Structure 1
Amino acid sequence: MPLTTTALAYDELAERWLDDRFDPLNGLTQHERALRFLPDDAEGWALNVGCGCNTRFNSLMRTHGLQIEGIDVSARMIELARAADPALSLHHADVCSWQPPRTYRFIAAWDSIWHVALKDQRALMLKLMHALDAGGVFLFTAGGLDAEGEHVDAYMGPELNYSTLGIPGLLKVIAEAGCVCKHLEFDQYPQKHLAVIVQRV
């Protein structure tokens, strides 16, 4: 399923993630944990991949001295994000073809990159991890399967693609990128929702 389809789906769904409608605690504990791996003086840039329109993580990242850059394939998400937090540096782009303009102390991809086709997952993961500063941290979510997999789901209404490299595949690409897995958990067990924290050595 092409990312243009994902963009149109999230244009349609965007208002579901507005700050006053969405659970403000969703993913917050995992972001707090990931940011604790940064040194106390870790000023620099954070990249929010699939940033959406919800700003619940922004103040937390700023307390760690981070300037925030966001990227999303949905034009409506970008429009709402800009209205909610005008200080953000935002890109309306497909993260698979987009080239990061800098390196980052922190990268988050919360419930976003699993929409990328399985054939493109490995290259995207490598690109994001290579965009980390030394000691930088990458937090992402993935399908917690024992092997790679891909499927289409219409749970939210529009059809959306979901894919994962599977836990062994994720650990392999993390090592290949010169990074270390610092934390891995099924944070919504028994759902196969996997939260992973990676650090560049």
Structure 2
Amino acid sequence: MPGPADGIIDLYSRRAADFDADRSRDLHEQPWLDTFLIHVPEAGSVLDLGCGSGEPIARYLIEQGRRVTGVDAAPGLIALCRERFPGHDWILADMRGLDLGRTFDGVIAWHSSFHLTRQDQRALIPVLARRLKPGGVLMFTSGHEDDERIGEWRGERLYHASLSTAEYRERLEAAGLSVLNHVIGDDDTGGATVWLCALGDGTMAE
């Protein structure tokens, strides 16, 4: 029987224009993005999972000289990305089990992977590690307690889930990822809980 998480892709597919209209462009994420980019070489490659309409995060990464590959399961959102940033790669796909046949200097999943069930998040962590080059960095947002919640957006049910902080750490380390920085409820980013991790010790490959 379908659960509440199964409606996420349909929701964003039906309401891509509404999501784009509601998505803030004030780039309060910039301090974290700048920290992330310290570990990504100039002209390096970034995989943006759950890229949405490409605004404002993918745009900022592109403006900083990085090559972006964006993945989203909502056709309308990918269409907006292709229109806005035709020189980059935009792929219509589900992030779960994703295999693009190549690796990246950085992977970002900002306010996206927490729409997956806890079991899907557990399975996703090693998938993300496999998408990184040695020394590559992963940045994602999460909750911090083992929980599932149903929020609301424009009158629609919106599913979120989280593992515990301890379990995230355990599973990241098991996948070969070291935690470089982690903040619970960062006030500067609207209360986001953010993880910045590296494959290995975070030393960029030559």
Rounded Cα–Cα distance in structure 1 between residues aligned with 2:199 and 2:91? 24
SS state at 2:97 partner: coil
Rounded Cα–Cα distance in structure 2 between residues aligned with 1:122 and 1:77? 26
Unpaired runs of at least 5, structure 1: none
Instruction: Give the letter for the 1:178 counterpart.
Output: G
Instruction: Give the letter for the 2:49 counterpart.
Output: V
1:152 corresponds in structure 2 to 150
1:13 corresponds in structure 2 to 15
Give the count of matched residue pairs.
197
1:96 corresponds in structure 2 to 96
Q: CA deviation at 1:91?
A: 1.2
Rounded Cα–Cα distance in structure 2 between residues aligned with 1:108 and 1:45? 11
Q: CA deviation at 1:15?
A: 2.6
Rounded Cα–Cα distance in structure 1 between residues aligned with 2:141 and 2:68? 19
Rounded Cα–Cα distance in structure 2 between residues aligned with 1:19 and 1:101? 33
Unpaired runs of at least 5, structure 2: 201-206
Instruction: Give the letter for the 1:121 counterpart.
Output: Q
Report if aligned partners of 2:52, 2:72 keep a CA contact under 8 Å in 1: yes
Indicate whether 1:29 and 2:31 are aligned.
yes
Identify which of 137, 148, 166 aligns with 1:168: 166
Q: CA deviation at 1:155?
A: 3.9
1:181 corresponds in structure 2 to 179
SS state at 2:195 partner: strand
Give TM-score, length-normalised by structure 2: 0.84
Name the stretch that deviates more: 1-10 or 115-124.
1-10
Rounded Cα–Cα distance in structure 2 between residues aligned with 1:91 and 1:127? 17
SS state at 2:156 partner: coil
Instruction: Give the letter for the 2:39 counterpart.
Output: F
Indicate whether 1:196 and 2:195 are aligned.
yes
Rounded Cα–Cα distance in structure 1 between residues aligned with 2:127 and 2:189? 31
Report if aligned partners of 2:118, 2:161 keep a CA contact under 8 Å in 1: yes
Name the stretch that deviates more: 10-19 or 111-120.
10-19
Report if aligned partners of 2:23, 2:55 keep a CA contact under 8 Å in 1: no
Taking a change above 3 Å as real, the CA distance of residues 165 and 28 of structure 1, as seen in their structure-2 partners, is same
Aligned 1:22-171 pairs, distance under 5 A = 22-38=24-40, 41-62=41-62, 65-145=65-145, 148-171=146-169
Rounded Cα–Cα distance in structure 1 between residues aligned with 2:48 and 2:57? 9
Q: CA deviation at 1:129?
A: 1.6
Name the stretch that deviates more: 153-162 or 176-185.
153-162
Name the stretch that deviates more: 170-179 or 4-13.
4-13
SS state at 1:68 partner: strand
Task: Give me the identity figure in percent.
Answer: 24
Taking a change above 3 Å as real, the CA distance of residues 62 and 81 of structure 1, as seen in their structure-2 partners, is closer
Instruction: Render the CA deviation track for 1:141-195: whole Å, top value 9, x for unaligned.
Output: 00122xx222222244321221111211111111101111001112138976301
Give TM-score, length-normalised by structure 1: 0.86
Instruction: Render the CA deviation track for 1:69-99: whole Å, top value 9, x for unaligned.
Output: 0110111111111112112211111111331
Q: CA deviation at 1:62?
A: 3.6
Rounded Cα–Cα distance in structure 2 between residues aligned with 1:115 and 1:21? 16
SS state at 1:108 partner: strand
